[in-house]
Amino acid sequence: MKDLYFITSNKGKYKEVANKLIEADFKVIQKNLGYPEVQANSLEDVVNFGVSYILERFHKPFIIEDAGIFIKNLNDFPGVYSADVFYKIGCKGILKLLDGIKKDRGACFKSVIAYVNSDKQIHVFAGECFGHIGFEEVGDNGFGYDPVFIPKCENKTFAEMTVDEKNRFSHRGNSLDRLLGFIKE
């Protein structure tokens, strides 16, 4: 089993990533280096800035990930600002912003993962999950916007799913599948 560091303070993300990467014989080790998350126009920009910062301070293979929820009727808000918005208004605030909107509650969760191997080569993988925002918070699993996001063709929120179920649908699961495909080549 190979060690791979996941640079994050988010225990929920760590659990999902560790659960998925065990398939490729990786022991994922959570490491909180407190890297700055630059405010940018894309998740890729946030991840690339994070990689540059971490490479100056850490010298083992690692991954970092940034994700966001892009809500169609809110002009893709909160998008790259999802974490900040969550800490300010949470799921209740998002539901309030959508109050009165009954039909077009489409949303897309996006994830960008950067993998830095032992040769300091950087590989970036993106994943998406389309769905919609429900009308109330449902479920006790997961974190962040999971209690209000329902993936396409499903009738339960991410917060109602187990980690394995969520990884089958989720944006992070999709970007991790791309990473696994790359590692297995």
DSSP state of 35: -
User: Of 3, 66, 140, 177, which one is the catalytic site residue?
Assistant: 66
How far, in Å, are 6, 52, 110, 119 from residue 64 at the CA level? 6, 11, 14, 16
Write the CB contacts of 48 (distance below 8 Å, at least 6 apart in sequence): 114, 124
Q: In b/e form, how buried is each residue of 131-144, taking b as 16+ CB within 10 angstroms? A: bbbbeebebebbeb
Active site residue 66: yes
Q: Give the DSSP H/E element, type plus range, for residue 127.
A: strand 122-133
Chain position carrying tokens 């946030």: 46
Chain position carrying tokens 């659960």: 19
Chain position carrying tokens 């179920």: 165
Catalytically active residues are 66
